[in-house]
Structure 1
């Protein structure tokens, strides 16, 4: 009963912190509007179509096994499914991606930073998308743990304190599902706590704004529109994109634009805003933890309907930056801080 109570307390804390999507200017006001986020509350989905972060790579995994492009050497990535975990585990849960280089440079980099920050915890990986796991296994003969396998590994290794840090961009349906799924194992551990996703508090938004504007500062020449592409969701948590846009505009980054692949603001919305300005060039970058299928095809692809092709057809010179947010050290530091808050809550 004690273990269950501790987990439910953690769940209550998670629910109470669904605040990042309010669009208000302070953490307290964001918390007041968290009920809207709760009701829909994530990939970077099993609702693969209902959350941003978890669905950011969902469609990439419909690819055929005879794909005719190189995503990098899978053997360079540490899949973190070792045993001999010890009493304390930090389980990093991601939707995942089959783009090997991006997986190593984003999810792998987040895990690496967490491992450095918390040497008393064994960092392990779990992916929520079995379609990705299966694809990587078929193509590269490498098996990544899914959530159940990762949890069973923790149980079999006698883990006592389990800290779960999702790499999601926002709260959403898959985040809630993860809390429930891990809850099914809560009696197997002394304590279970969850870290928050990337965009939870107003301070998180400010830190992400600083990270992405500093990352693209060399393109900020007065003639370039800098456009970030998120996935988007029909859930209420989609308002994180408008909140980020409003923050950028308020802080004077009027040549920065945020849009989504599958929701609002749409590509058409972003194009209209860019055309309303006096820009000669457009830089495109994913507002996603990984640079997977959406980044490589929906954003940077040469097919009609891609962001690149749409802006080129509108007369702009286009440059695509194929890098996920997980490659940014300042972004990774936010995940580290969220994991620290979770660890500090352990008794």
Structure 2
């Protein structure tokens, strides 16, 4: 067997082994050459010492949410995990929380939840080589860019030639990304909240800063207009379109009765204050001051089977594009 030349790498010797047979570059010392190959459907590293490092051939799916410390948030995430487990029974499904503040509060309550970095590292340590990260985000804002950067960094270590030995980590889409996603989201939202009656409107309020993704809300509004005749209205507490624009829209469509609901998968405690708080700046008080009869819906998008189906499809599209599912 042709072994090529030896050169020191990180204190070890780099050995090029018959690439046609093994299609890999391996690292080790002259006394213990490590080789990678597919054995019995699972990746397995073999050493001359007889030790074996088994790799898990299943695909791991990691759901990532910003989440919140409010009551019921954990249950919503666990229900999402269950939905993905039912959709992908041959995969391992877990979740991580992106918000450091939320993780710290949960830790003080005795509930330790991994960050995306920690969760991915744990999956790699457990021997998974194929991973799909699915953000449970609505818009492609800052949160998605941070997560994408994390996944890209891990992928620097992918391939048989490096220390991690993973095939790679894929990342799915948020709810809103491509044109067809907006149409699908508009259908799902309308199906979940229902079509408002004449002289009524549903106002969906994003309670968070979308991190530069405000135009996504505007595009969603255009799609909703075609689906509902403008009776489902999109607003945000931290950007555009704000409350003043929403009031103009409600006047334009001659609405008299308004139902408020959060445009987020898992509403935080601050969402209650912004939508239904006692202060004059709450959405409910602003709309009532303008003469509308206002109620607040108990529906949460994170509990919508229609929305869950779109995220599940995102994983399917992402995984099949690279042979991970």
- Bucket of the pairwise TM-score, normalised by the shorter protein: 0.7 to 0.9
Structure with greater contact order relative to length (CA < 8 Å, sep ≥ 6): 1
Q: Which of the pair is proportionally richer in helix?
A: 1
Residue 281 of structure 2, aligned match among 300, 305, 309? 305
Residue 209 of structure 1, aligned match among 176, 179, 186? 186
Quote the offset at 1:281 in angstroms: 1.2
**Tell me, what secondary structure is at the counterpart of 1:184?**
helix
What is the CA deviation profile of residues 61-112 of structure 1, one whole-angstrom value per residue up to 9, with x for unaligned ones? xxxxxxxxxxxxxxxxxxxxxxx9874211111112112313422x333222
Q: How does 1:102-117 map to 2 (within 5 A)?
A: 102-105=73-76, 107-117=77-87
Q: How does 1:38-117 map to 2 (within 5 A)?
A: 87-105=58-76, 107-117=77-87
Stretches of structure 2 lacking an aligned partner (at least 5 in a row): 1-22, 25-54, 158-163
Question: Are 2:192 and 2:306, in contact at CA under 8 Å, matched by a contact in 1?
Answer: no
Question: Are 2:207 and 2:274, in contact at CA under 8 Å, matched by a contact in 1?
Answer: no
- Paired with 1:300 and 1:289, the residues of 2 have a C-alpha distance of 18
- Paired with 1:250 and 1:295, the residues of 2 have a C-alpha distance of 28
Residue 292 of structure 1, aligned match among 251, 261, 268? 268
The reply on whether 1:261 has 2:230 as its aligned counterpart is no
The number of aligned residues is 263
What is the CA deviation profile of residues 234-263 of structure 1, one whole-angstrom value per residue up to 9, with x for unaligned ones? 755211111111122233422221111111
Stretches of structure 1 lacking an aligned partner (at least 5 in a row): 4-83
Aligned to 2:206: 230
**Tell me, what secondary structure is at the counterpart of 2:128?**
coil
The reply on whether 1:156 has 2:130 as its aligned counterpart is no
- Paired with 1:129 and 1:302, the residues of 2 have a C-alpha distance of 27
Q: 1:116 to 1:308 in 2, by over 3 A?
A: same
Aligned to 2:27: none
User: Normalising to structure 2: TM-score of the pair?
Assistant: 0.75
The reply on whether 1:329 has 2:276 as its aligned counterpart is no
Which deviates more, 191-200 or 173-182? 173-182
Higher gyration radius (CA): 2
Aligned to 1:35: none
User: Normalising to structure 1: TM-score of the pair?
Assistant: 0.70
- Paired with 2:239 and 2:307, the residues of 1 have a C-alpha distance of 24
- Paired with 2:75 and 2:57, the residues of 1 have a C-alpha distance of 24
- Paired with 2:275 and 2:57, the residues of 1 have a C-alpha distance of 42
